[in-house]
Amino acid sequence: MSDNLPEVPETEVPQTPIARQGMFGAHDTGDTSGYGGLVVRRAPELSTPRPFGGYFDALVDTLDLDDAIERVVVDRGELTLHVKRERLVEVLRKLRDDADLRFELSLGVTGVHYPHLQGEELHSVVHLASITHNTRVRVETWAPDADPHIPSTVAVYPTHDWHEREAYDFFGIVYDGHPALTRIMMPDDWDGHPQRKDYPLGGIPVEYRGATIPAPDERRSYA
């Protein structure tokens, strides 16, 4: 891989815009988040055929773990490897340690909730960067709501400690093998995981330095 700025594939011309409405259970007034009018420029890629373009083909070939990768997606000039959860630690370790890959820097772990994806509702996403080769890759894995367990990757990237705790706190993803998987933002006795899309949008009074903040469905609407 070159030390120079790598080439990335050109993005496709967007399809006809797709309007998505009714997010978080809001269908009419009271939604001040702006999500009610969200427009997605095109449908997401489910998988990308070869050639991927740029350094992406060489990266996947060097990784050489096709049996661990469910699919490869190239979208908007970014590479995402969708990995089987039981192979996640193995994939990340090779991405870090192989001299031709050398993704020595993790930019963090986050969770995503897709309630419409039956059997893979909870996704855990890792963003990696190679300072050595000036390359980037996203690694994504998933678990069903009924079995929200994903292997912890703290042993590979120690900075994932607090990030995995946050994803557990906000999404309910259980990172098996984490040294101390406890809530990091919400109180220990908090009920539920606030960034899931099935979490109630309001109805919970919030106090901030003596000021009472009304629930979202009671605020002024700017629609």
Domains assigned to the chain: 47-192 (3.30.460.80)
Predicted confidence (pLDDT) per residue in 37-90, tens digit: 556 666 667 899 999 999 999 999 999 999 999 999 999 899 999 999 999 999
pTM for this model (two decimals): 0.78
Give the C-alpha distances (Å, rounded to integers) separating 187 from 16, 63, 141, 171, 191.
Answer: 44, 41, 27, 14, 9
* φ/ψ bin of 172: left (φ > 0), alpha (ψ from -120 to 50), beta (otherwise): left
Predicted confidence (pLDDT) per residue in 143-202, tens digit: 999 999 999 999 999 999 999 999 999 999 999 999 999 999 988 888 889 899 888 766
